[in-house]
């Protein structure tokens, strides 16, 4: 697969994963770009041992985990741009609420549920995280319950 095709096919999915992780539009944009930079650098080393999707999602989720470090170094700056741009991104409150809830979960749960919502097979999710399939299934179930609970409490149904 050519880089350009990968970029076009996966940008949206990677962006949503990052957005679920940080719930901040600009940060998610940055994280997605970084992911594709790594993909671009590493594409030569990709062998068809796993599907390209699994491979890319691994890079993306690892990159999300790594930004924990950057987060500490650069506390979210209150740039005035964010304020003016916020309106452009404002979407249905339910969608915003979903992303907010996900970003509040423990880090690895954010990744798991994002991948699940992206319709990735549970066996693939297990391979991305490095978990057993059974464990993954249990985790997904628990996270969904947690989210449903939050939606109920918030009267978002």
Partner 1 sequence: MDNNNIDFKDLWKKQTITQPNMEDLITRLKQFKKTALHSLWITNILLFATCIFIIVIWYFYQPEFISTKIGIVLMVSAMVIYLVVYNRLLRTYKNIDATQTNQEYLQKLILIKRKQQFLQSKILSLYFVLLGIGICLYMYEYTSRMSVFYGITSYVVLLIWMGIAWFYLRPKEIRKHEGKLNNLIAKFEEVNNQLIS
Interaction between residue 92 and partner 1 (CB under 8 A)? yes
Helical (H) or strand (E) element with 53 = helix 52-73
Interaction between residue 70 and partner 1 (CB under 8 A)? no
Dist CA 21 CA 7 (whole Å): 20
Smallest CA-to-CA distance from 109 within 152, 149, 147 is with 147
Burial 4-25 (b: 16+ CB within 10 A, else e): eebeeebeebbbbbbbbbbbbb
Chain positions 26 to 45 lying near partner 1, rule: CB under 8 A, are 29, 33, 36-38, 40, 42, 45
Interaction between residue 108 and partner 1 (CB under 8 A)? yes
Binding site for partner 1 (CB under 8 A): 4, 7-8, 11-12, 15-16, 19-20, 29, 33, 36-38, 40, 42, 45-46, 55, 58-59, 61-63, 65-66, 68-69, 72, 89, 91-92, 94-95, 98-99, 106-109, 111, 114, 117-119, 127-131, 141, 144-145, 147-148, 151-152, 156-157
């Amino acid at each position: 697969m050519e880089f350009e095709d990968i970029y076009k096919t996966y940008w949206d999915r990677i962006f949503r994963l990052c957005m679920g992780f940080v719930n901040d539009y600009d940060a998610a944009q940055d994280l997605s770009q970084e992911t594709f930079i790594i993909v671009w650098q590493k594409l030569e080393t990709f062998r068809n041992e796993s599907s390209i999707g699994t491979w890319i999602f691994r890079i993306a989720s690892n990159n999300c985990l790594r930004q924990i470090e950057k987060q500490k170094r650069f506390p979210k700056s209150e740039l005035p741009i964010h304020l003016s741009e916020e309106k452009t991104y404002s979407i249905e409150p339910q969608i915003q609420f979903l992303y907010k809830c996900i970003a509040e979960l423990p880090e690895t749960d954010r990744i798991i549920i994002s991948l699940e919502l992206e319709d990735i097979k549970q066996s693939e999710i297990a391979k991305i995280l490095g978990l057993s399939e059974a464990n993954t299934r249990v985790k997904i179930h628990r996270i969904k319950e947690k989210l449903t609970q939050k939606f109920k409490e918030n009267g978002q149904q």
